Structure 1
Amino acid sequence: MDNIVITGYGIKTPGAVSKEDFQRILENGICTHSVLEGRGKNQSSVIAGVIEDDFGMLRERNYTRYPRSTRMALAAANDAVEMADLSYDPHRIAVIIGTSAGAILEVEHYSSVALNLKKYPLHGVSLVDSHTLSATVAEHIGTRGPTFTITTGCTASLDAVLLAKLLLEAGQVDACIVGGTDAPLGQWSINGFLKTRAITSDVSINETGVPFSSDHQGFVLSEGAGIMILETEEKALQRGNTIYGRVQKVCSRNEGRPILHSDETGEEMLSVYKETLGNRVPCYVNSQALGLKANDRIEGFIHKKLFDDIVPLTSIKGMTGHSFAAMGAIQMIAALLSIEYGFIPPTIKTEGKGFEDLPIVYQTIYQPVRAVSITTHGNSGNNACVIVSK
């Protein structure tokens, strides 16, 4: 069976709309979080990851009526396709993109006129159709192959990679445009996570979204998009393309839990991780840890079970925040940059209080990187892991 490789990618995160931007943030451990005034409890502030660009005009075409999450995916897909110099039969290119919040910003914006036919927007019905996301990317790029939108929450972009790998291995397509995107910074999302105490209001940037810390609670809600080009190694070499990494194994499972619940023992996640790794040992782990105590405890548990203190552990969430379905793809792109430029990014904001027995990376480590494992999990028990290698 041919290797599945990555030949291009595009990244849109707070403070980074290019490969070079993202490398600089990762290598230097730069926090990109912002203060949103008046959006928290009793009109207090919340901390969030905000992308300044609007992405309204792309390839001289106006996309301002499209959801923000779709526009970010289009911009990232443009960069990925250009990097990969994608040139297959359009019918042999798949588009598979994950999202969690979809067009929640736009649905919230128009909710006040939902019962007024005269003011209801002509494109309103498309806003609640999540598949508009991948279909728009396919139309924009000019592909005619299979097109799927994955809505499995925080694991969605890794689930998209899994489906892409299966399609490529089965020979049904020659290339896949794959990844995730989310723009969740509306009041609906903010209030929802305030209600469940997953985010914290009226705190400073350094007091929340702190991975691996028993002294802090809450994650930083963030916008983001990450899109990659996957193809077989054989075809990539035939095209003379640069190969940035190999998708060795990806595994995804659902625990079958009620909404807002997951397995806090970590045993389900451990099982998925073991299957992903097999007998491989990564150079480091790019962790899901984002500042939620239950999630971070699970990350610590599985790391001690599998690696003890042998394999370095890091989380980039203190730099980027957590962008839901996009995060798995963003972590994969971070791994590709580690492999290409030879460094392990630091875990910032934290001193590791309560996690002293873990080999957390606090300062950038420069060394050859051959393989990185990535973990993601979400509400109702989704768990997905991938290992990316040189």
Structure 2
Amino acid sequence: MDDIVITGYGIKAPGILDKYSFLNVLQKGICTQSILHNSAQPHASIVAGIIEDSFLEINGVNYRRYPRSVRMAVAAALDAAEMSALHHFQPHRIAVIMGTSAGAILEIEKYAKDAFDLRKFPVHGVSLVDTHTLSNAVAEAIGSNGSAFTITTGCSASLDAILLGKQLLESGTVDACIVGGTEAPLGQWTINGFKKIRSLSTETLIENAGVPFSTQHSGFVLSEGAGVLVLERRQSANARGQKIYGKVERVISRNEGQKLLTSDISGRHMLDVFQETIGNTKPSYVNSQALGIDINDQIERFILKETFGCDVPITSIKGMIGHTFGAMGAMQIIASLLSMEYGFIPPTTKTTGDGFEDIPIVFETQHQAVESVCITTHGSSGNNACLLLTLT
């Protein structure tokens, strides 16, 4: 079976619009978060990851009627397609598989008051609540008319998209896959929802919000963004002389079968997924889900210690860019590709590791050769997904 490799990627994140701005943030440990102001309730302002660009027009095309999450995905997908020279492939042999959690929640909030007034209801209202508008729009933008799927499995969505893309390539069904995730969740429905279950940080000081691996802080930083990758078989990449950035060695995804808003706090389900993903590989480091929620971060500590003790470093990029739900897995992969290409482990910022002193957290940028990285994601829906990324 031919290797499945990554030949292109695109990212849109707070303070990050391309490969080199992301590389700068990762190498220097720059926090790109800011304050999301609530004009109606000034006391309810929060720390968040905000992208300044509107993406209303992309390459001369008007996307004003598309949800913000879709616009970001299109912009990232076009970058990925250009990097990988995706035009080489026949359009019907390119699959699009995109993940999301919040979908078009911003636009649904905006037009909710008009839902019962036909005169005011937007003509594109149906497309806003159809989450598959995401993958369809990406397919149209890159010129694909192959398979198109939208994955809505919460925080593991983009890794799940990669899993499906890998399987399609291995079966020979398609020749290339655009995969990834996108989120634009910075609306009151999402904010109040996560405040209600006490998992969103309510700190107003950026340095105290969304602190990974710390028992002295609580809650994550909500962020928007998109991460998109191009997958293909090694044979096709070599045949056309396309640069290969990394190999998707294995992806495992499972659901815990838990009740609404609950997940396995023991970490045993995640441990099984993690250990099956890495197999006999000892990765250079773990690019972790850790985001500032104690249960999640403790599970990351548990699976690392159970598997490697203190022999494998662990880091989290959430202190820099926040948490982007279903797009986060793809962003962690892109961060890992950059660390493999440029030889460094990105730091876990904001934290001193209070309560996590028994694991080797990377606090400062660590310059070294990186041969492989394990990416971990899990969410409150009980989905656990891990991916092992290796050099070619």
**Which TM class, normalised by the smaller chain length?**
over 0.9
Displacement, 1:203? 2.5
Displacement, 1:202? 4.6
In structure 2, the CA distance between the partners of 1:351 and 1:262, relative to structure 1 (3 Å rule), is same
Alignment correspondent of 1:154: 155
Alignment correspondent of 2:23: 23
Displacement, 1:65? 1.0
Alignment correspondent of 1:93: 94
Alignment correspondent of 2:127: 126
In the alignment, is the contact (CA less than 8 A) between 1:40 and 1:46 conserved in 2?
A: no
Mapped to 1, the partners of 2:355 and 2:201 lie a distance apart of: 20
Mapped to 2, the partners of 1:339 and 1:374 lie a distance apart of: 13
Structure 2 letter corresponding to 1:329: A
In the alignment, is the contact (CA less than 8 A) between 1:161 and 1:178 conserved in 2?
A: yes
Task: Report matched runs for 1:97-246 at 5 Å.
Answer: 97-246=98-247
Structure 1 letter corresponding to 2:50: V
| 1:327-354 deviation line (CA, Å, top 9, x unaligned) | 0000000000001000000000000000
Structure 1 letter corresponding to 2:263: S
| 1:67-107 deviation line (CA, Å, top 9, x unaligned) | 00000000000100000011101000000000000000000
In the alignment, is the contact (CA less than 8 A) between 1:212 and 1:353 conserved in 2?
A: yes
Mapped to 1, the partners of 2:65 and 2:170 lie a distance apart of: 37
| 1:134-170 deviation line (CA, Å, top 9, x unaligned) | 0011011110110000000000000000000000000
Considering only aligned residues, what root-mean-square deviation do their CA atoms show, in Å? Answer: 1.0
In the alignment, is the contact (CA less than 8 A) between 1:107 and 1:127 conserved in 2?
A: yes
In the alignment, is the contact (CA less than 8 A) between 2:36 and 2:50 conserved in 1?
A: no
Alignment correspondent of 2:302: 301
In the alignment, is the contact (CA less than 8 A) between 2:9 and 2:83 conserved in 1?
A: yes
Percentage of identical aligned residues: 61
Structure 2 letter corresponding to 1:128: V
| 1:200-251 deviation line (CA, Å, top 9, x unaligned) | 3253111110000000000000001000000000000001100000000000
Mapped to 2, the partners of 1:170 and 1:246 lie a distance apart of: 17
| 1:111-136 deviation line (CA, Å, top 9, x unaligned) | 01111010000000110000000001
What is the SS of the residue equivalent to 1:379?
coil
Mapped to 2, the partners of 1:292 and 1:132 lie a distance apart of: 31
Displacement, 1:361? 0.2
Alignment correspondent of 2:285: 284
Alignment correspondent of 2:345: 344
What is the SS of the residue equivalent to 2:381?
helix
In the alignment, is the contact (CA less than 8 A) between 1:41 and 1:201 conserved in 2?
A: no
Task: Report matched runs for 1:227-376 at 5 Å.
Answer: 227-376=228-377
| 1:52-78 deviation line (CA, Å, top 9, x unaligned) | 111111121100110000000000001
Mapped to 1, the partners of 2:209 and 2:298 lie a distance apart of: 16
Mapped to 2, the partners of 1:327 and 1:18 lie a distance apart of: 16
Q: Which moved more, 1:221-230 or 1:34-43?
A: 34-43
In the alignment, is the contact (CA less than 8 A) between 1:40 and 1:191 conserved in 2?
A: no
What is the SS of the residue equivalent to 2:335?
helix
Displacement, 1:176? 0.1
In the alignment, is the contact (CA less than 8 A) between 2:158 and 2:181 conserved in 1?
A: yes
Q: What is the total number of aligned residue pairs between the two structures?
A: 390
Task: Report matched runs for 1:42-53 at 5 Å.
Answer: 43-53=43-53
What is the SS of the residue equivalent to 2:11?
strand
Alignment correspondent of 1:380: 381
Structure 2 letter corresponding to 1:254: N
In the alignment, is the contact (CA less than 8 A) between 2:203 and 2:209 conserved in 1?
A: no
| 1:302-333 deviation line (CA, Å, top 9, x unaligned) | 01001111111000000010000000000000
TM-score by length of 2: 0.98
Mapped to 2, the partners of 1:126 and 1:134 lie a distance apart of: 12
Structure 2 letter corresponding to 1:72: M
TM-score by length of 1: 0.99
Mapped to 2, the partners of 1:41 and 1:29 lie a distance apart of: 32
Mapped to 2, the partners of 1:42 and 1:66 lie a distance apart of: 29
Mapped to 1, the partners of 2:136 and 2:38 lie a distance apart of: 35
Alignment correspondent of 2:69: 69
Mapped to 2, the partners of 1:40 and 1:347 lie a distance apart of: 34
Structure 2 letter corresponding to 1:258: K
Structure 2 letter corresponding to 1:313: I
Structure 2 letter corresponding to 1:26: L
Displacement, 1:44? 2.6
